[in-house]
Structure 1
Amino acid sequence: MSDILSFWGTYLPQILDGLGISLKVTGASLAIGIPAGLALALMVQAKSRFLRWFCLAVVEIGRGAPALILLQFAYFGLPNVGVSLTSFAAAVAALSWSTAAYTSEIIRAGLQAVPRGQIEASDALGLSFADQLRFVLVPQGLRVAAPALLGFAVLMLQASSLAFTIALPELLSQAYIIGTTTFRYMPILCLAGLLYACICIPATLLVGWFERRLARHA
């Protein structure tokens, strides 16, 4: 046991560097993807048939294609059309697309959960569509969608491990590099798993607490 703890202590700084990159990729993907998901949720209900079908295509491709395929496309496919991205930028682009696609459906369900009577009341008050979105639909819809969005954020941290396939030095990549160098894969992968668990388990408990709190005040 002491040998494993000593091994972990030796390589913990390198593993933590990888964890930092994983958190940066996840944070950037969520910061881009959730607002894009809100925009898609609104535009799939647009009157323009072209805009509606275009946004539906973006959502369905983002949901239907595995995140690994999107990562490979962003890193290896885009250079074929003259767009070259670093591994970090490709990871953020691919995971942002996946985030936008999934969260658009979560947010759309939240918007549809707003009581119809409140929309009719805002029409009676003469609110414009933009004011309805700002003061009625979006605040209440996001409140309903918040627990699911937080849960999805935990999943995106786990999905960031797929970026090791495009040479991004995130947590799993660092674990594989150390395993390749030392031929001790099991201890270092266990350490990587523990670090993921140290973040994901408290985050999951926080999501559950937040969901219960919202339900109590609903």
Structure 2
Amino acid sequence: MGAIDWGNIFDLQLAITSLPYILQGIGYTILISFGGMSIGLVIGFILALGRNSKWHIIKWPARLFISYMRGTPMLVFLFLLYFGLPNIGIQFTAVTAALIGFSLHSSAYMAEINRSALNSVEKGQWEAATALGMSYWQTMWSIILPQATRIAIPPLSNVLLDLIKASSLAAMITVPELFQRAKIVGGREFDYLTVYILVGFVYWGISVLVEVWQSRLERRFSFSQK
């Protein structure tokens, strides 16, 4: 411990001068994480319905997709999309590959969350809606989904937080997001410690905003159920 130069742990002047440059990458971070969340949520809902299907020709492909995505690291899938597919003539830009990768990968986790939330609604409500002459989709949109959404909000928010932090992996395929820009500054100034601490606080700030948003959504849906 005596060999540590504590004065070099965080250079405040470097952090202040570097922050504007690093923050230029926040747009890519938001695009990848929130875009991946939005697209993944739609795919995840479809997969959840597929997992609940009585038709094996629909159910088993959905289960296989979910199993594969949950069983492979995000970084491996990003490398497959960006560096692997060009070998067979399919090439994406780094941002497109990251958006596709995060959307598909996160959809598997959201599918299981959605499936669990949908299944947690009492089956008697399906039966009551059928007795009233409501169709499957009328029952789903008007009765089941509002209740399932309230249940799914906390775990889905955790997925979004994970996506925000995991967006730093996009730097490995050259996306100029927050972490990629922090690496550039660290290499230029020979002070990785300062910029990594700084970018860590930026990610934390974004996550705090998501947590506030989550709390408001929970209160809104809680009140709507009363």
TM-score above 0.5? yes
Where does 1:44-193 land on structure 2 (aligned, <5 Å)?
44-193=51-200
Distance 1:25 1:33 in 2: 11
Distance in 2, Cα, partners of 1:132 & 1:206: 28
2:150–2:218 CA contact under 8 A, matched in 1: no
Matching residue's letter, 1:179? G
- Indicate whether 1:31 and 2:38 are aligned: yes
- Contact kept in structure 2, 1:147 and 1:210, CA below 8 Å: no
Structure 2: any 5+ residue segments left out of the alignment? 1-6
Displacement of 1:41 = 0.3
Quote the Cα distance in structure 2 between the aligned partners of 1:215 and 1:143: 7
SS of 2:91's partner is coil
Structure 1 residue 5 displacement after superposition: 2.7
Deviations 1:152-200 (A, max 9, x none): 1111100101111111111111111111111111111111011011121
Contact 1:18 1:171 in 2 (8 A): yes
Segment of structure 1 superposing worse, 208-217 or 196-205: 208-217
After superposition, the CA RMSD in angstroms is: 2.0
Deviation, structure 1 residue 9 = 2.4
Question: Per the alignment, in what secondary structure is the counterpart of residue 116 of structure 2?
Answer: helix
- Which moved further from structure 2: 205-214 or 52-61? 205-214
* TM-score, scaled relative to structure 1: 0.91
Q: Distance in 1 between matches of 2:89 and 2:62?
A: 24
Unaligned 5+ residue runs, structure 1? none
- Runs (4+) of structure 1 exceeding 4 A deviation are 208-218
